[in-house]
Amino acid sequence: MADIITTDGVDSHPDWSHVPEHARHVFLCTGPRCTQRGALQLWKTLRRHLLAHDRIETPGGVLLTRTHCQFPCNLGPVMTVYPETCWYGVRSHADAQRLVEVHLVGGEVVEDLLIKERS
Ligand code: FES
């Protein structure tokens, strides 16, 4: 059986050996159903507001990552935030902006956007 792990021909850059600074890791679903519901546009809104608050990959900031399906598709677009383990349904640009300002900058959970009760 052929070995499928290789570094031959893989692009490399020194920055790609660096773990970005961050206090929270945010995962926005860009799976097929969340994308149909506008997740890619919400991604731009999240990123723009995080940059405006200097919260992208900074100490105390956010590592914003796109994912495939996180499973509760009917409640999406889905965004999860760690270390707080918050599952949010983001239904509008206003929701995205509020999540940045209240949770990702202000540190407070946005209870009315949660799609899963926190334990
Ligand atoms: S496509 Fe986003 S949760 Fe399934």
Q: Does the structure show a pLDDT above 90 at 5?
A: no
Measure 110 CA to ligand 1 centroid, in angstroms. 20
Cα 94 to middle of ligand 1, angstroms: 20
Q: What average pLDDT does range 13-36 have in this prediction?
A: 95
- Decide: 28 in ligand 1 pocket, CB within 6 A: no
pLDDT at 61: 95
Per the model's pLDDT, the better-predicted residue between 119 and 2 turns out to be 119
As a CATH number, domain 21-113 is 3.40.30.10
Q: Is there a contact between 89 and 113 (Cβ–Cβ < 8 Å)? A: yes
Q: 2: pLDDT confidence band, cut at 50, 70 and 90?
A: low
Measure the CA–CA gap between 67 and 26, rounded to whole angstroms.
Answer: 10
Query: Does the CB atom of residue 82 touch ligand 1 within 6 A?
Result: no
pLDDT digits (tens, 9 = 90+) for 29-67: 999 999 999 999 999 999 999 999 999 999 999 999 999
Cβ neighbours around 76 below 10 Å, total: 27
What lies within 8 Å, CB to CB, of 63 at 6+ separation is 20, 22, 24, 25, 26, 57
Q: Is 115 in the pocket of ligand 1 (CB under 6 A)?
A: no
* Mean pLDDT over each residue of the chain, to the nearest integer: 94
| CA 116 to centroid of chain Cα atoms | 17
**Ligand 1 contacts CB of residue 63 (under 6 A):** no
Per-residue confidence (pLDDT) for residue 8, from 0 to 100:
78
Confidence at 11, pLDDT banded by 50, 70, 90:
confident
Whether 66 contacts 28, CB under 8 Å: yes
SS3 118: coil
pLDDT band at 108; cut points 50, 70, 90: very high
**Residue 66, phi then psi, degrees to nearest 5:** -90, 145
pLDDT for 15 equals 86
